[in-house]
Amino acid sequence: MRRPTGLLSIILLFCGVAKVEAQSRSNLTDEGQFFSSVGYVYRLERRLKEASIEYDKVLELDPPRAFVKYDKNPILIPRDNGFEAKRRALKMRKLTGLLSILLLFCGIAKVEAQGRSNLTDKGRFFSSVQDLARFYFERGEVYLDLFRAEEENKPENHAAAIADYQKAVQLAPQDPYYHNRLGYVYHLERRLKEASIEYAKVLELDPPQPVTAEEFGLILKYAPRVYTNPKEFFPLEDLTVVIHPDKPLIEYSFFWDDDIDYPGDNDPTDHEKVWIEYDPQSGKVKGVYTYFHRAILATKEAIEDANAHNQRARINVQWGGHGSLPVGWENIPLEKISVKYAHIEEVARIKDMRTRYDRHKVTTRMPDHPLAKSWPKKFSGSWEKYTDFSKYNDLSKIIKKKRMVIKSRWPNAVINQCFLNYQFYPKHEWPDVSP
């Protein structure tokens, strides 16, 4: 039977005797599924204009091929997850008066009741746009963890993470956390232009604040005592400081002139971090956290040492690679020198100092690289010499001179937008959140 048109079609819908059916197709694109889901959750929130736009996108990707027949037990069944039926029902809103109201309640309600089962993932039902945005964001987090943890399928996992973060941003454009994550995943692959766009949006939505005179005093008070190896080849080029606006936590980001093992990574500096947590009441240091080749290290000895030295923690810096070490690093169990991901069970074991010395006493990673022609080719000396951290670096001088200090929740974004005019590799932002 050919599709009824005009008044007959309206009557069929109004009376509830029209049944739309079509052959199921398994080749619907992920993009089509996305637009359909977005349209559905918009419809749940009575945002009909936005819903119609999304359904039209679906039909552009997957043109309908439906026909109408009569059924003694009528129910409006959507073809291909309800794309066409919902789109057509939504367009009936253009009808006026009582007929329009009856069509919406008698027609669309049935369509959406059927469509709910097609919009779940492992039983999940997305009851709002924000819920769907969160789903895509969390799935992006899984792909990001896979990208960082596994050597195989890196391009595919990175692309999948970007795609899901983009969908989250599209659904929740006012959420700075989603924009920050999308900027971060761009930044990981040195797609700096795209990362900068997202970082700028982050700071537009959640602007950073200048530090007060009192806060600048705290930055100097808690500035770590940094010690390097006497044979350290690369100087400290820059230092940025970010105060967390909600927590008694200060991040110190070091930018060493380069990394001995990565002359060709297109990063002109080696970005490393230390975080100091303090008690606002007593002023005592409560936590010392250091970034060591993706692992976050912390010891009780570091806290005790800091409070014994006017709240200034001692940080020892590895030769050439600049992994930051707290006091007591020698006693950290090997299993603690690792990265635990939030969304996958895999644990990444990080090479400890002894392993790095065993390699560096033989050779650096790329000794013959053209950009490393003037660099040391290996570390010449014993293990005791390798772990000699006796050269003091005065951070207060560079803090006072450059004054790259700010208050923000988004360290990578403010460093990119407010401080450095060169590429740097993004690192873990805070020690108490997922990497």
81's CB contacts (< 8 A; 6+ apart) are 28, 33, 36, 115, 118, 119
Each residue's pLDDT tens digit in the chain (435 positions)?
444 444 444 444 444 433 333 333 334 456 777 777 777 776 666 566 677 677 667 767 766 543 333 233 332 223 333 334 433 443 433 334 444 444 444 443 443 343 333 333 433 445 688 888 999 999 999 999 999 998 889 999 999 999 999 999 999 999 999 999 999 999 999 999 999 999 999 999 999 999 999 999 999 999 999 999 999 999 999 999 999 999 999 999 999 999 999 999 999 999 999 999 999 999 999 999 999 999 999 999 999 999 999 999 999 999 999 999 999 999 999 999 999 888 888 889 999 999 999 999 999 999 999 999 999 999 999 999 999 999 999 999 999 999 999 999 999 999 999 999 999 999 999 998 766
Q: Please state the φ and ψ torsions of residue 256, each to the nearest 5 degrees.
A: -80, 155
Of 286, 285, 247, 197, the closest CA to residue 429 belongs to 247
- What is the pairing mode between strands 324-326 and 225-228? unpaired
pTM of the model: 0.74
How confident is the model at residue 73, as a pLDDT? 32
DSSP 93: G
How confident is the model at residue 97, as a pLDDT? 42
Which residue ranges form the domains of the chain, and what is each CATH number?
6-118 (no CATH), 129-205 (1.25.40.10), 213-419 (no CATH)
Quote the CA–CA distance of 227 and 379 in Å, as a whole number.
Answer: 18
Residue 382's identity, in one-letter code, is S
DSSP 294-313: TEEE--HHHHHHHHHTTT--
How confident is the model at residue 29, as a pLDDT? 57
Residue 404's identity, in one-letter code, is M
How confident is the model at residue 62, as a pLDDT? 67
How confident is the model at residue 53, as a pLDDT? 74
Q: Residue 130 is encoded by which pair of tokens?
A: 């924000």
Q: CA torsion sign, 40 to 46 to 50 to 55?
A: positive
How confident is the model at residue 43, as a pLDDT? 66
Q: Residue 308 is encoded by which pair of tokens?
A: 């014994």
Instruction: Say if CB 273 and CB 324 are below 8 A apart.
Output: yes
How confident is the model at residue 267, as a pLDDT? 94
Of 288, 283, 348, 343, the closest CA to residue 314 belongs to 288
How confident is the model at residue 344, as a pLDDT? 86
Q: Residue 111 is encoded by which pair of tokens?
A: 């369509």
DSSP 417: I
Quote the CA–CA distance of 350 and 388 in Å, as a whole number.
Answer: 21
DSSP 171-215: H-TT-HHHHHHHHHHHHHTT-HHHHHHHHHHHHHHS--BPPPHHH
